């Protein structure tokens, strides 16, 4: 029952108790009357029942009027005072009580409003002092933001669970589709997971590598890898750990560098040098043939011609050798190389053997494996390249078993892959070099990045049953080059007085998480009407996010939707959207899947959100998009906090909380207003013992409005 009916319950209880007491007394008197007294009483009741009934009804009416007057002038105003006074100290210091009641109530309201004036002035003074003390910090933060914006590399800072806490404009640009930049913003934002942007396996591998170096107390902690991203770019990524004072990892920094042009440049140079080499080889062969024809001279000049032939042949060989060296130097200079890691050869090969068996059913027979050898490579990309080669060899030869002979010669690790029967065409093997490896560049490029070579061992230059990968063995000089160390969170200069790593957004129990620590997607829809089942359609959907108890105004979703039907005049008068504005816009089947990605791993929040959710629900079958996010409604929360107030529409709630609505009846304007209202409600919710999502949902269920269906 409503809180406003409690007074009525008390009155009814007292009335029933009074009737029972009076009835009991009347019964007692009746039983003690003699026959004449009882007869006279019956006669009086019979003759004067109408006046007696009128007197009884008059008494009841007077009592009822008096009780109603007491309720309206004392009880109800006190309830409103209690509800609205909490707004002043919890959310809106500029709010003033406007409650009508008795003289005493009016005096009380005046006193409360006087205290509210004092409280508001005090709040303003405190706010001014806070703003003053933050002024210098804001300057330094703006300086940091300017520096971040001008860095030549994209930068993202994440907590340990991969939630984005900070990013600069270049990082945003790298992850933005040039063809449709508006859509790409849906995938990058504060509080979002980095794993939607970059393959999780790559980052997990980098973190594992960093943690291993931390456990071994190494100074060089940064990890590197190269990967394509969904915008079509190939980026080089450096992972740098952020450590606390105890050297425990609390997060990581990712720096991004676009190397797409470098890869294209490398491939172009490689192709050009190959073409040039073939041309030179043809000319060398023609020159040698010319020399042989020239040798047909008299016997006495034979010795001289032999000397010329040897000299010219030797010069041609030197020229060809010099060309090879120059080609390798040019390719090396144009290649983006990864800083390589020291790997234990035995562990690396056993891991290759295990993965080949588990992933592709390929058996590897190891030969000459020694435990004391170490090699240099990027563990992730080199492993993928090795498995990639084995899978392709298996497809070409039909073999599921290979011998792997391992040798260490002159500072190089030789991996000879051998198979018997079914020799492969040399051309087929050469084609493997240019194939791309899953999320990485070509097989040949990955080997070059790892400073490795690939050779085909063939006797007849047509078929082969053996290939070789040559990798670098560990040398002390290889580690003379310094790599970036960790960032110690507590070692930053004193003027950086903020910590990005306190909140863990990945709690498993979202319902028991504090409302201030939850990421919300606040959304609203504009429609052709109010009947989702009857055929009304969404024509606009917009959303904004709340992260760390702040509205992220830059991270918005806003789309117009073609409803494939007419727009009634009554609806147009409300939202101002006509069909011409929607002509050529995407339909709901294209928009809802994008919106689902935008809302991933967040709590949905809206005003009268049951209607908006019904609009999404009726489109599940058409769009194959189902929203399973937890849901909160500011209408229900307001009703739960202030049941005395009968009006819980957005305008009245905003007025009570001191929120200015800009763009009413536009999807984005209403979404932003709802977000601002919710942030104002949180302190009031906390004051009423509502702290977690579970508390808020339970409170919402108790309101009358929660029983409304759409």
Q: Mean pLDDT over residues 679-697, rounded?
A: 92
Six-digit token string for 696: 């808020």
pLDDT at position 484, please?
Answer: 58
Q: Mean pLDDT over residues 351-379, rounded?
A: 86
607 is known as an active-site residue: no
pLDDT at position 502, please?
Answer: 55
pLDDT at position 264, please?
Answer: 64
Q: Place 144 in a pLDDT band, splitting at 50, 70 and 90.
A: low
130: number of CA atoms within 13 Å, CB side?
A: 6
Q: Place 449 in a pLDDT band, splitting at 50, 70 and 90.
A: confident
Among residues 462, 594, 461, 422, the alpha carbon closest in space to that of 521 is found at 594
Q: Mean pLDDT over residues 552-581, rounded?
A: 89
Q: Which helix (H) or strand (E) holds 682?
A: helix 667-687
Q: Mean pLDDT over residues 93-110, rounded?
A: 75
Average pLDDT, the chain: 80
C-alpha–C-alpha distance, residues 505 and 528, integer Å = 37
Among residues 650, 704, 646, the alpha carbon closest in space to that of 681 is found at 650
Asked if the model's pLDDT at residue 504 lies above 50, the reply is: yes
Comparing 5-19, 45-59, 326-340, 473-487, which segment has the lowest mean pLDDT?
Answer: 473-487
pLDDT at position 106, please?
Answer: 76
Asked if the model's pLDDT at residue 419 lies above 90, the reply is: yes
The one catalytic residue among 95, 607, 624, 665: 665
Q: Place 670 in a pLDDT band, splitting at 50, 70 and 90.
A: very high
Q: Which residues contact 80 (CB under 8 A, 6 or more apart)?
A: 97, 99, 644, 645
C-alpha–C-alpha distance, residues 195 and 600, integer Å = 12
C-alpha–C-alpha distance, residues 694 and 701, integer Å = 11
To the nearest 10 degrees (0 to 180), the angle between helices 650-657 and 667-687 is 50
> Which of the 8 DSSP states describes residue 378?
-
- Taking the CB of residue 414, how many other CB atoms lie within 10 A of it? 18
pLDDT at position 632, please?
Answer: 94
Asked if the model's pLDDT at residue 251 lies above 80, the reply is: yes
pLDDT at position 290, please?
Answer: 67
Comparing 92-101, 319-328, 438-447, which segment has the lowest mean pLDDT?
Answer: 319-328
Asked if 559 and 540 touch (Cβ cutoff 8 Å), the reply is yes
Q: Which long-range contacts (CB under 8 A, 24 or more apart) does 316-323 make?
A: 316/284, 316/287, 316/288, 319/280, 320/280, 320/281, 320/284, 323/277, 323/280
Asked if the model's pLDDT at residue 463 lies above 70, the reply is: yes
pLDDT in tens, 508-536: 578 999 999 999 999 999 999 988 888 89
Q: Mean pLDDT over residues 571-581, rounded?
A: 88
Asked if the model's pLDDT at residue 297 lies above 70, the reply is: no
pLDDT at position 641, please?
Answer: 86
C-alpha–C-alpha distance, residues 152 and 255, integer Å = 10
Asked if 390 and 363 touch (Cβ cutoff 8 Å), the reply is no
Asked if 658 and 677 touch (Cβ cutoff 8 Å), the reply is no
DSSP 3-state of 659: coil
Across 267-271, 318-322, 376-380, 436-440, the highest mean pLDDT is recorded for: 376-380
Asked if the model's pLDDT at residue 186 lies above 60, the reply is: no
Asked if the model's pLDDT at residue 277 lies above 70, the reply is: no
């Amino acid at each position: 029952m409503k809180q406003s009916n409690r007074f009525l319950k008390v009155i009814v209880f007292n009335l029933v108790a009074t009737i029972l007491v009076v009835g009991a007394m009347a019964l007692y008197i009746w039983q003690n009357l003699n026959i004449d007294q009882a007869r006279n009483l019956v006669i009086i009741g019979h003759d004067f029942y109408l006046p007696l009934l009128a007197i009884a009804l008059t008494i009841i009416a007077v009592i009822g009027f008096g009780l109603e007057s007491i309720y309206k002038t004392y009880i109800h105003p006190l309830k409103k005072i209690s509800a609205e006074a909490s707004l002043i100290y919890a959310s809106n210091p500029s709010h003033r009580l406007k409650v009508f009641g008795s003289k005493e109530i009016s005096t009380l309201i005046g006193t409360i409003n006087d205290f509210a004036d004092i409280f508001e002035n005090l709040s303003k003074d405190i706010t001014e002092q806070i703003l003053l003390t933050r002024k210098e910090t804001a300057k330094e933060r703006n300086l940091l933001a300017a520096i971040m914006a001008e860095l030549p590399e994209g930068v993202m800072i994440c907590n340990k669970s991969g939630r984005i806490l900070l990013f600069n404009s270049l990082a945003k640009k790298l992850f933005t589709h040039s063809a449709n930049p508006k859509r790409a913003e849906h995938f990058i934002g504060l509080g979002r997971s980095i794993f939607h942007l970059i393959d999780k396996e790559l980052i997990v591998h980098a973190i594992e590598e960093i943690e291993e170096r931390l456990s071994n107390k190494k100074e060089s902690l940064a990890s590197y890898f190269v990967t394509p991203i969904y915008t079509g770019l190939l980026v080089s990524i450096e992972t740098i750990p952020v450590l606390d004072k105890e050297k425990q990892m609390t997060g990581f920094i990712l720096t991004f560098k676009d190397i797409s042009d470098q890869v294209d440049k490398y491939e172009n140079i490689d192709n050009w040098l190959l073409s040039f080499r073939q041309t030179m080889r043809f000319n060398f062969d023609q020159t040698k043939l010319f020399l042989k024809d020239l040798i047909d001279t008299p016997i006495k000049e034979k010795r001289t011609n032999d000397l010329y032939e040897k000299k010219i042949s030797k010069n041609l060989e030197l020229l060809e050798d010099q060309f090879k060296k120059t080609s390798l130097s040019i390719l090396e200079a144009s290649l983006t190389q990864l800083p390589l890691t020291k790997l234990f050869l035995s562990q690396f090969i056993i891991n290759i053997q295990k993965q080949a068996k588990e992933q592709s059913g390929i058996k590897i027979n190891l030969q000459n494996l020694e435990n004391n050898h170490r090699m240099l490579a990027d563990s992730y990309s080199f492993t993928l390249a090795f498995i990639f080669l084995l899978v392709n060899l298996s497809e070409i030869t039909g073999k599921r078993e290979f011998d792997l002979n391992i040798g260490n010669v002159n500072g190089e690790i030789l991996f000879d892959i051998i198979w018997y029967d079914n020799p492969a065409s040399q051309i087929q093997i050469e084609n493997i070099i240019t194939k791309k490896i899953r999320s990485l560049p070509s097989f040949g490029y990955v080997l070059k990045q790892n400073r490795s070579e690939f050779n085909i061992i063939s006797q007849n230059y047509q078929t082969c049953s053996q290939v070789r990968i040559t990798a670098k063995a560990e040398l002390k000089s290889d580690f003379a080059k310094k790599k970036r160390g960790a960032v110690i969170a507590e070692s930053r200069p004193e003027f950086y007085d903020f910590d990005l790593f306190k909140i863990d957004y990945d709690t498993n129990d979202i319902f028991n998480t504090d409302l201030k620590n939850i990421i919300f997607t606040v959304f609203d829809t504009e429609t052709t009407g109010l009947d989702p089942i009857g055929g009304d359609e969404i024509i606009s959907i917009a959303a904004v996010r709340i992260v760390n108890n702040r509205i992220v105004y830059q991270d918005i979703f806003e789309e117009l939707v073609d409803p494939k039907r007419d727009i009634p005049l009554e609806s147009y008068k409300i939202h101002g959207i006509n069909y011409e504005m929607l002509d050529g816009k995407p339909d709901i089947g294209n928009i809802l899947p994008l919106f689902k990605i935008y809302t991933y791993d967040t709590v949905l929040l809206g005003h009268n959100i049951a209607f908006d959710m019904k609009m999404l629900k009726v489109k599940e079958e058409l769009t194959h998009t189902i929203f399973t996010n937890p849901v909160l409604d500011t209408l229900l929360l307001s009703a739960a906090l202030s049941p005395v107030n009968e009006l819980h529409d957005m305008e009245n709630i905003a007025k009570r909380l001191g929120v200015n609505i800009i763009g009413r009846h536009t999807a984005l304007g209403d979404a932003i207003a709802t977000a601002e209202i919710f942030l104002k409600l949180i302190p009031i919710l906390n004051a009423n013992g509502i702290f977690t999502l579970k508390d808020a949902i339970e409170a919402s269920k108790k309101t009358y409005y929660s029983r409304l269906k759409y």
